[in-house]
Amino acid sequence: MEEKNVLPRFVRFAYQAHKKFFYVMMFSSLVTSAQTIFSAYTISLLIGCIEKGQLERAYQMVALIAVVEIILLLLNKLMKRLLEIHRVAMQEIINQKTSEKIMSLPFAYLEDPYYMELKKNVQMGINNMGAVYLLCDGFFKIISNILSLAGLGLIIFTFDPVLVAILLIGILLNIILVKLSMRSQIRFFHELLPINYKYGYYMDTIISDKNGKDFRLYSQFNLLFKKFNGFAEIVASYFTSFNLEQSFYQTLISIVRYVQMAFVYALVGIKTIVTMTNISSFSLTVSAAISFSDCITNMIQVSSNFMRSIEYVKPLLELLDIQEDQHEGKVELKEIRSITFDHVSFAYPNTDKLILDDITFTIYRNEKISIVGLNGAGKTTIVKLICRLYEPTKGQILINDVPICEYDHRSYMSMVSSVFQDYKMFAITIKDNISFHIDEEKARELSYDTGVGEVIEQLPNKWQSILSKAYDEKGVELSGGQNQKIAIARALAKPADLLILDEPTSALDPIAEAEIYENFNELAKERMAIYISHRMSSSIFCDRILVIDGGRISDFDTHKNLMEKKESLYYKLFMTQAQNYAL
């Protein structure tokens, strides 16, 4: 992305996100410029009155200056407070928009290493480096300084144009030094970024309370801690080298400033003596020159942060440029009568290995289907394709004999409910974890249906209990099996025609598992249901079993018929588990 396009694009994006922030910033810049220019005039105005013997006017001038200074000070304080309020608002809005953008991307991108790294870069730049505020703040501070420099430059030019030339030479030298400094900072940022990720990973891993049990039982903690210290030393060495280099540039910038001010003082002093200029003009010019120099110094500091922030927001703009999921379907899906895989093949992005290879099958309304097979056979991939998280590499998937891409995405997703292996519980109430849209009585009913109602009933706040202690000490921590039952209740709470359960009972004990499966047909009622389980006994409760072997369909039949095929994969899997249970 070209440097010249970054700033205008970001400003447009940020302005659309939170316009009030820009209005407050602009007014704050004007107040700051007014303070700078007014301060340059105050002493010279007083000296001018005293030179003319206008003591009474001098007293009036003191009072006026005090009133103006107080007003400008109060306005400045108010602007700083408003800026902080709107800065936080801006940060939250941009985080929200970033999250919405990520949620709108094709799901495949979220498992692609390039885009996963891009997402981390965005989060690091926006949240860790504060790029949004630094860039906006720098933008308006530069405007404020330019306004101040224009006013101060006019005062200095009126006294002697040579002074302006001296100051401009200083500015040119400072620009060169700042540019060299920025190259160093950008190089440092790009070199440190991959190292910082590894450093952050090891730090998060060794301080995570979830890893405590494994660290106590195994020896990996010492290895991870050693790697963490190694990366910490690398990061520290990078910062040491970087700070030394930046100190060198800052020293040169300070030397330029002091030499420049020495020339200014000498020229103003000589001209004042030679031309017998009054003291008030001398004071005004010197004050303006000092303020001018201060503005230049401030601009250098701001520009440094500003240019660095441009690097930080590049990943955000790249993320915003990514084409979103094109859910172009217009057909509204009102019910699911059949699902057909028509010669579907699929390979995950950035790989040529087929996970599914030319599979064809059809599931009908009210059927309960079990998908079985060895690990890596492609069982979960079938579910992901049905959920439109990925698109087939070849072939097509039909719902009611219509390609799924022709259905409106929102109406399609309203017809699908799923519990994946890596389901998530959230730090909200148990009732809201089941569904935000149902009342507590319905949540209670579903909890009892899935066998977790009695446990919840015994909690102090019952279904209003927060399902985590992350921020509430009164929150509750349930077992893996209990959470899984709540996840199943969540799937049942959604009025969807298709119910998908991927390893729905992996955390349940055998008795709880048997209860779930015995009542499964009743829980699913008239819905089409697909579920995946490594426990072969669960297949007995299904109408048909889809057997996947190496990405291909080896069988699709009832349990009874499949058990008659003594050489089939299903028979071998089932009997192997049955023998272990018998033992």
| Helix/strand/coil (H/E/C) assignment for every residue in 399-440 | ECCEEHHHECHHHHHHCEEEECCCCCCCCCEHHHHHCCCCCH
Q: Is 60 exceeded by the pLDDT of residue 324?
A: yes
Give per-residue pLDDT as tens, 291-300: 777 777 777 7
Give per-residue pLDDT as tens, 262-276: 877 777 777 767 766
Mean pLDDT computed over 70-99: 85
Q: Give the start-end residues of each E strand in 140-207.
A: none
Q: Is 60 exceeded by the pLDDT of residue 45?
A: yes
Count of alpha carbons within 13 angstroms of residue 218, beta-carbon side:
8
Q: How is residue 300 written in tokens?
A: 């250098």
DSSP 8-class letter at 546: E
Spatial separation of the C-alpha atoms in residues 142 and 302, rounded to whole Å: 7
Q: Is 80 exceeded by the pLDDT of residue 200?
A: no
**Looking at residue 326, what is its pLDDT?**
59
Q: Is 60 exceeded by the pLDDT of residue 354?
A: yes
Q: Cβ distance 512 to 484 under 8 Å? A: no
Give per-residue pLDDT as tens, 464-487: 888 887 777 788 888 888 888 888
Give per-residue pLDDT as tens, 274-287: 766 666 676 777 77
**Looking at residue 342, what is its pLDDT?**
94
Q: Whole-model pTM?
A: 0.66
State the pLDDT confidence band at 257, using cuts at 50, 70 and 90.
Answer: confident
| Positive/negative CA dihedral, 20, 21, 26, 31 | positive
Phi and psi based region of residue 366 (left: phi greater than 0; alpha: psi -120 to 50; beta: remaining): left
Q: Cβ distance 49 to 55 under 8 Å? A: yes
**In the block, which residue shows the tokens 């019952």?**
462
Q: What percent of the chain has pLDDT over 90?
A: 9
Q: What is the H or E stretch that residue 530 is in?
A: strand 528-532
Task: Write down the mean pLDDT value for the chain.
Answer: 81
At 308, which amino acid appears? R
Which domains does the chain show, CATH number per domain?
3-321 (1.20.1560.10), 329-415+498-516+525-583 (3.40.50.300), 421-495 (3.40.50.300)
Spatial separation of the C-alpha atoms in residues 371 and 354, rounded to whole Å: 18
At 395, which amino acid appears? G
Spatial separation of the C-alpha atoms in residues 475 and 330, rounded to whole Å: 43
Spatial separation of the C-alpha atoms in residues 315 and 190, rounded to whole Å: 12
Q: Is 70 exceeded by the pLDDT of residue 518?
A: no
**Looking at residue 101, what is its pLDDT?**
83
Q: Is 90 exceeded by the pLDDT of residue 11?
A: no
Q: How is residue 177 written in tokens?
A: 């030094």
Question: Which of 186, 207, 224, 156 has the alpha carbon at shortest distance from 311?
Answer: 186
Q: Is 70 exceeded by the pLDDT of residue 515?
A: no
Q: Cβ distance 149 to 292 under 8 Å? A: yes
Spatial separation of the C-alpha atoms in residues 457 and 465, rounded to whole Å: 10
**Looking at residue 315, what is its pLDDT?**
82
Q: How is residue 148 written in tokens?
A: 């101040």
**Looking at residue 399, what is its pLDDT?**
94
DSSP per-residue codes, 2-20: -HHHHHHHHHHHHHHH-HH
**Looking at residue 280, what is its pLDDT?**
67
Beta bridge partners of 501: 419, 531
The secondary structure of 326-393, three-state, reads: CCCCCECCCCCCEEEEEEEEECCCCCCCCCEEEEEEEEECCCEEEEEECCCCCHHHHHHHHCCCCCCC
Question: Which of 409, 325, 349, 384 has the alpha carbon at shortest distance from 104?
Answer: 325
User: 403-434 burial string, b = 16+ CB within 10 Å, else e?
Assistant: ebbebebeebbbbbbbbbeebebeeebbbbbb
At 173, which amino acid appears? L
Q: What is the H or E stretch that residue 233 is in?
A: helix 220-275
Choose the most confident range, by mean pLDDT, from 152-161, 207-216, 344-353: 344-353
Helices (H) and strands (E) in the chain, counts: 19, 10
Q: How is residue 251 written in tokens?
A: 């020293």
Spatial separation of the C-alpha atoms in residues 409 and 299, rounded to whole Å: 50
Spatial separation of the C-alpha atoms in residues 339 and 402, rounded to whole Å: 9
Q: Is 70 exceeded by the pLDDT of residue 541?
A: yes
Q: How is residue 7 written in tokens?
A: 């700033």
Choose the most confident range, by mean pLDDT, from 166-170, 176-180, 551-555, 577-581: 551-555
Worst-scoring range by mean pLDDT, 157-161, 173-177, 226-230?
A: 157-161
State the pLDDT confidence band at 340, using cuts at 50, 70 and 90.
Answer: very high
Q: Is 60 exceeded by the pLDDT of residue 3?
A: no
State the pLDDT confidence band at 512, using cuts at 50, 70 and 90.
Answer: low
Worst-scoring range by mean pLDDT, 32-36, 383-387, 556-560?
A: 32-36
